Structure 1
């Protein structure tokens, strides 16, 4: 007994200091500290969004030449593609000034724009002009910083005919290979660079020419020919330090930007060089990509290219939302202060004041009142206090929600926090998958619920699916078609549960009230709609919520239209009339299945499901037909992406068009089987007989293995997606059978996965901006990119805490927005109308000041 008591006390002590509340407080402190640190670092960089791209980075893959800049994302530019590098560099003049290494860099840059472009071959020690469409590129053979270099820059300053818009310059290797005193060479180099710097500054100041000085890259000394043996990395470092010192001293306004990242790329890849001096193709390819990101990102604003891209302009709608949220924060602070003052200094308990006579209080007026009047006054006071507390609860919830939305905006719409590209490898996907699987297995506990797909089991189901989807997005595994096809099954499973859960509710409860519909729609859409306003994204961008909402509404309409059918319907009257709706007066009777006829709820529901199948099939019979239906206002405003097109909505819907219906049908079959006593889930034992269990389990395992083998062999997403639309029914059904038929599997669940399943919606939507970055195209970096594992742990910890808090806030806001189920329909409609009108008004303001552009980018 004493051991049990000590165990209970120990668990209580642990839960007191290790719980989600403590975790949220820690996450708040982390957010504040990291925000201040990153903001100071960003200010220290001069608010330069190019700093990470130009300064340094990490080589992630030497074979493929994958480079990760420090704290920003590189966009992979396509060649001759509308709105890509060609449109960015149209009518621009680019000059590459330097030695043979600069010449090869320019040729690589030309091929990055157009792989079919022809460039001269061999050793060319002269100027090379290249005209590529409307882009002028020129290489100027100036291997040393001497009078030639000074005159070239001076001529550009005087004449506008050949003056380039952008100049990339570097020199040093040819100077270093000369014999002589190192001190004399160093002194002359410094002197020449000082004179050239003046010409550069004049071009930048007077003619707005962009000039980039490329630091000298290291060499592979063991491969150098004897003529170049004096070009050592030690000397190169001395020259680079000299340039940095002169720029710091004489270019305080940072007119000349320095590219240091090429130096670090060369350190990683110079060993692949053939002669030890010139860079290998892998390095030149990375450097060309860096130059494209440097020149084009801020003009084209690619989603997955945050390097050198300034923060987007704040829209009118974002300003309005911010002001509304700020007013909530001020109101919450004010009301909290007032409540604190009242509790600390409570007013005297006098309702009508004291009766004063001759300047002195003789007796409280309250004491003179009858007892009934006192009770009425006390009740009134209690209601006022309750109303005040309810208002305070609402304002505090809105304030917390505002602060969370501000964090979303700072993470993904500013350059304060860093971002990183995704790079898929099998290890990046399967190792985290192994970790969470082990954690889930260690968290298995028994459950008291015995029903098929009970609440504990569905929470667990949603939890492990959501964690796998997070790993899938984090690792960039969408490039792997077999993994992609398995993730498609998980999305179909979510929609399956939408159909199964809501069908079960409507059938057993018979609740088709407007309150029920609005409650579901409001809860699943609150975060998404808020992010649409705050992050300036369309509703369809968060595709999963529109899918769940759409299929829920379809199911609701199909079940609520006359004649309705549910388990609470009373038996038909003796005169053969249609069964009445569930009555709130008197006992309700379950309709016996033996009376199955055309007017029974079971037959009505059967025909409804058949009709729903036909409607869905007709709706998706043609893509043009589908798009025509959803291209009318206001549907197009909900489902367009990009602006003016609903093609993305067609793609998302048709992938899993039968998943919701599958859930509803399977729930209906399960209800009938229970009614016929084919299966019994009232106990923890096996659902079916031994023979039936063996057959169904064997078939189910075979189906799962077959689907896995088929998905592993998929190479074409388009073809496999077409098969998936129909084939997904089989593995989902097989999984349910495997998970539920054996009693020992149905009697336990993973509490670890179930905890995440309860906040799965918030995790799915929140990952877009505060775990991933650049609208899921990259990863959020809160600390140094050099510690990716620690960064993943910290971002995940903060992300989960915020998702849990949003889940609680959503419940509070839903309660206040819709009121109680007992409220009159008119009150609910008025509240809904106020909410919708507010959103429409904000959208109108946004469209007035920021009109939408059709066609998208």
Structure 2
């Protein structure tokens, strides 16, 4: 991603950015034409409905939209397409085939809406429309108040019981867990709450732990190592961040959570996907987990090995903060990934031991009242003692000292939370819907915060400032409320748009269709890039683009002055 910054138009926009603009206009044009076709079809149907009774009866036989009713259904719902390049829905749309355009209308709409949100990110973060930006100001009272009020509302309005039995660490519970951690993580960024840094490190470790836990549970239980399913996961983790990097000329490592989850997801997939016959035995799984520990030790703890492995991938994981330039472009990736390099393995181990944990809790549930109360009290007391020891000896350490021990100790508070959250059947079957909903869009809220809640002000910049709709110094809380409403809505839409576009691009099963779509994406990207170079070379258009570039230059200078 970072490498695209070198190929700039005279206006200051990169060829990749111009490619994104061309792609947006292409999809917008196709979508408008598809809507016109849909309007014409509905008008024809309305006229048919207003005709004589014989016509009405005939139309009724053909379906609610007449004989072309199937054309408006999503692609793939009718007869399957041939797995050829010209038979793909995208190629058919480019040839303005009416059937393909009507079938793909929902996907074209999603692409256009996605592009409009990217335009919004650019306007917020690369122009002077919303300057001056607000400055971060920490208030322990305000941060605590916001989180407590949200939690009270969550208990009051969204506490739900899920009738799926007392399943240990069920989906609703893990989504809720991600949700409340994400709220505190975001508030930490918004208010620059440095005093809870160590807690935030534990929360990030919790996300990575769930990457190991959730992926292990899926692959171990379903034994589905289909490439299509894996590509869908990669799409979920990387599609949004890739487009954002292109549009805003940022490095992939600016959003370090994405490469972290990606690499650890790949590791889990490889752990269970390679030597699948050994997954059937306890010894086989434990040996695999032990080999993962050894692999991480060699590839991360030995710094020379780490740099040798990742140097060829500098274009992906290299990063330098423009406000604090460094020659060691791999430092950020080494630092971030090293902090949580072991906790995903603990997540896999917990997933493997889940049946034992469920059996242990069920045996406690089956005890007589007094014995059950004593057993649960002992479990809770033991967990709290472990947490207290960790807190007194680890958590209270200063930032630098804490970071040194975090990779080896983050599993302790995570394990305690899992025990306390699941100690009774009621706690395993109830969850908070609001936090669960927020937990489903954590990736989108993480990426969007940089450009529509906070702001960076320049390519690869850290989000040091606040988006201000109102003067932040005069109305800090009103501005917070308004910016948060826009931010959550945008994140929610991005979640659904990413899923919709995934349906159009990534099939469930690997095969010719998947390979065809991959080739189509690469070829289409190359064609758009060549077209962008041609557009950049046309001097008559440079003046139009110059306005955006000058605005971006002024913004960088303004943001730098604000930080100083």
Q: TM-score normalized by structure 1?
A: 0.52
Distance in 2 (CA, whole Å) between partners of 1:620 and 1:546 is 15
Counterpart of 2:478 in structure 1 is 790
Distance in 2 (CA, whole Å) between partners of 1:847 and 1:723 is 49
Change (3 A) 1:422 1:846: farther
By how many angstroms is 1:433 displaced?
A: 2.6
Distance in 2 (CA, whole Å) between partners of 1:441 and 1:385 is 42
Counterpart of 1:666 in structure 2 is 350
Distance in 2 (CA, whole Å) between partners of 1:682 and 1:385 is 55
Counterpart of 1:70 in structure 2 is none
Alpha-carbon displacement from aligned partner over 1:475-519 (angstroms, at most 9, x marks no partner)? 0113x3xx1011000000001111111100001101000011000
Change (3 A) 1:423 1:385: closer
**Structure with the larger RCO, 1 or 2 (CA within 8 Å, 6+ apart):** 2
Counterpart of 2:324 in structure 1 is none
1:396 aligns with 2:109: yes
Distance in 1 (CA, whole Å) between partners of 2:442 and 2:42 is 39
Alpha-carbon displacement from aligned partner over 1:444-493 (angstroms, at most 9, x marks no partner)? 23222321111111111111011111100000113x3xx10110000000
Query: Is the 8 Å Cα contact of residues 452 and 681 (structure 1) preserved in structure 2?
Result: no
Alpha-carbon displacement from aligned partner over 1:244-263 (angstroms, at most 9, x marks no partner)? xxxxxxxxxxxxxxxxxxxx
Secondary structure (helix, strand or coil) at the match of 2:13 reads coil
Structure (1 or 2) with the larger CA radius of gyration: 1
Query: Is the 8 Å Cα contact of residues 316 and 845 (structure 1) preserved in structure 2?
Result: no
1:448 aligns with 2:163: yes
Of the three residues 773, 776, 779, the one matched with 2:463 is 776
Alpha-carbon displacement from aligned partner over 1:289-336 (angstroms, at most 9, x marks no partner)? xxxxxxxxxxxxxxxxxxxxxxx9322221220121122122212211
Distance in 2 (CA, whole Å) between partners of 1:397 and 1:530 is 14
Query: Is the 8 Å Cα contact of residues 160 and 433 (structure 2) preserved in structure 1?
Result: yes
Query: Is the 8 Å Cα contact of residues 631 and 645 (structure 1) preserved in structure 2?
Result: no
By how many angstroms is 1:710 displaced?
A: 4.3
1:834 aligns with 2:509: no
Alpha-carbon displacement from aligned partner over 1:772-831 (angstroms, at most 9, x marks no partner)? 112421110012332111111111011111111111111110000113x25x51211221
Query: Is the 8 Å Cα contact of residues 317 and 845 (structure 1) preserved in structure 2?
Result: no
Counterpart of 2:386 in structure 1 is 703
Of the three residues 129, 141, 151, the one matched with 1:427 is 141
Distance in 2 (CA, whole Å) between partners of 1:333 and 1:809 is 18
Q: Higher helix fraction: Structure 1 or Structure 2?
A: 2
Of the three residues 275, 296, 299, the one matched with 1:619 is 299
Distance in 2 (CA, whole Å) between partners of 1:488 and 1:562 is 34
Query: Is the 8 Å Cα contact of residues 23 and 528 (structure 2) preserved in structure 1?
Result: no
Query: Is the 8 Å Cα contact of residues 704 and 735 (structure 1) preserved in structure 2?
Result: no
Change (3 A) 1:623 1:448: same
Query: Is the 8 Å Cα contact of residues 45 and 66 (structure 2) preserved in structure 1?
Result: no
By how many angstroms is 1:749 displaced?
A: 1.1
Of the three residues 190, 193, 206, the one matched with 1:477 is 193
Change (3 A) 1:423 1:682: same
Distance in 1 (CA, whole Å) between partners of 2:490 and 2:15 is 26
| Aligned pairs for 1:756-775 within 5 A | 756-774=438-456, 775=462
Query: What value does the CA root-mean-square deviation take over the aligned residues?
Result: 3.1
Counterpart of 1:649 in structure 2 is 333
Secondary structure (helix, strand or coil) at the match of 2:353 reads helix
Secondary structure (helix, strand or coil) at the match of 2:311 reads coil
Distance in 2 (CA, whole Å) between partners of 1:809 and 1:694 is 46
Counterpart of 1:640 in structure 2 is 318
By how many angstroms is 1:406 displaced?
A: 0.5
Of the three residues 444, 462, 467, the one matched with 2:183 is 467
1:729 aligns with 2:411: yes
| Aligned pairs for 1:340-739 within 5 A | 340-346=39-45, 384-386=71-73, 387=75, 388=100, 389-418=102-131, 419-442=133-156, 443-449=158-164, 450-478=166-194, 480=195, 483-566=196-279, 600-632=280-312, 635-642=313-320, 645-674=329-358, 677-680=359-362, 690-710=373-393, 713-715=396-398, 717-739=399-421
By how many angstroms is 1:555 displaced?
A: 0.8
By how many angstroms is 1:564 displaced?
A: 3.7
Query: Is the 8 Å Cα contact of residues 659 and 729 (structure 1) preserved in structure 2?
Result: yes
Moved more, 752-761 or 491-500: 752-761
Query: Is the 8 Å Cα contact of residues 627 and 647 (structure 1) preserved in structure 2?
Result: no
By how many angstroms is 1:847 displaced?
A: 10
Change (3 A) 1:441 1:671: same
Alpha-carbon displacement from aligned partner over 1:126-175 (angstroms, at most 9, x marks no partner)? xxxxxxxxxxxxxxxxxxxxxxxxxxxxxxxxxxxxxxxxxxxxxxxxxx
Query: Is the 8 Å Cα contact of residues 507 and 565 (structure 1) preserved in structure 2?
Result: no
Change (3 A) 1:678 1:742: closer
Specify every segment of 5 or more residues in structure 1 that has no aligned partner in the other structure, as ranges. Answer: 1-311, 350-363, 368-373, 567-599, 851-856
Counterpart of 1:226 in structure 2 is none
By how many angstroms is 1:707 displaced?
A: 3.3
Distance in 2 (CA, whole Å) between partners of 1:336 and 1:503 is 43
Secondary structure (helix, strand or coil) at the match of 1:631 reads helix
Change (3 A) 1:329 1:846: closer
Change (3 A) 1:689 1:557: farther
Distance in 1 (CA, whole Å) between partners of 2:46 and 2:34 is 17
Change (3 A) 1:612 1:692: farther
Change (3 A) 1:765 1:636: same
By how many angstroms is 1:744 displaced?
A: 3.0
1:337 aligns with 2:36: yes
Change (3 A) 1:380 1:520: farther
Query: Is the 8 Å Cα contact of residues 763 and 803 (structure 1) preserved in structure 2?
Result: yes
Change (3 A) 1:467 1:685: farther
By how many angstroms is 1:341 displaced?
A: 1.4
Change (3 A) 1:434 1:683: same
Change (3 A) 1:399 1:747: same
Aligned length: 472
Query: Is the 8 Å Cα contact of residues 684 and 746 (structure 1) preserved in structure 2?
Result: no
Distance in 2 (CA, whole Å) between partners of 1:846 and 1:337 is 28
Distance in 2 (CA, whole Å) between partners of 1:842 and 1:754 is 39
Distance in 1 (CA, whole Å) between partners of 2:373 and 2:422 is 14
By how many angstroms is 1:649 displaced?
A: 0.6
Q: Higher strand fraction: Structure 1 or Structure 2?
A: 1
Of the three residues 496, 502, 505, the one matched with 1:808 is 496
Distance in 2 (CA, whole Å) between partners of 1:680 and 1:331 is 57
By how many angstroms is 1:684 displaced?
A: 11
Change (3 A) 1:414 1:761: same
Distance in 2 (CA, whole Å) between partners of 1:326 and 1:315 is 17
